[in-house]
Amino acid sequence: MRILVDMDDVLADFDAEFLKRWQERHPEKMYVPLEDRKIFYVKESYPKELQNLVEDIYLEPGFFRNIMPMPGGIDAVKTMAQLGLEIFFCTSPLTAYKNCVLEKYEWVDQHFGPEWTNRIVLTKDKTLVKGDILIDDKPVITGAEPTPMWEHILYDRPYNRDINRKRLTWQNWKQVLDL
């Protein structure tokens, strides 16, 4: 079985890194706590006048490289591989990819080892990637293929809880995947 695992806010805690940097740089400005977020894209959760400041944070060098792992995610993915599942990291780079692409590779190397960098699939269209399951926090995934080959299992986040779909955390993944 081939399992595709998204990185940002599934394996890597993008939201926590963003909020930490936001509060360091802009302590006087409002912020949107993760629990209150209703929109997938963090930038769109902020008023128009703050969106450039939001983008500045996640576009800066070191942002993606320094994101902390989601608790339990690394162990879960390594256990999946030990159980004989074929694991690939299926992640979408930012359109302004200058730091993002390299740092995603560095993140995987740092947390999984260099041999795991061969398992990275960078794509703007995940519907084109062949797999059995895609674990992703994005509520709706669209692309060139109207019916992807994989089953979309939601990684549980506050902004996707209105979607009625099978959902997973790194604490219940074995039960959700029936392993």
Chain segment 13-37, per-residue pLDDT in tens? 999 999 999 999 999 999 999 999 9
Question: Which pLDDT belongs to residue 31?
Answer: 92
8 is catalytic: yes
Range 82-91 average pLDDT: 98
Question: Which pLDDT belongs to residue 146?
Answer: 95
In whole angstroms, give the CA distance from residue 104 to residue 100.
6
Q: Which fold has domain 2-12+68-176?
A: Rossmann fold (3.40.50)
Q: Which of these is catalytic: 6, 9, 13, 15? A: 6
Residue 179 has pLDDT above 90, yes or no: no
Considering the domain 14-59, what is its CATH architecture? Orthogonal Bundle (1.10)
Its pTM stands at 0.95
- The CB-side HSE value for 153 (13 A sphere, CA atoms) comes to 21
Range 57-73 average pLDDT: 97
**CATH 1.10.40.40 domain residues, the chain:** 14-59
Do residues 104 and 119 lie in contact, with contact meaning Cβ atoms separated by under 8 Å?
Answer: no
% of the chain residues with pLDDT over 90? 96
113 — phi, psi (to 5°)?
110, 155
**CATH 3.40.50.1000 domain residues, the chain:** 2-12+68-176
Coil, strand or helix: which one is 25?
Answer: helix
Q: Which of these is catalytic: 8, 13, 136, 137? A: 8
6 is catalytic: yes
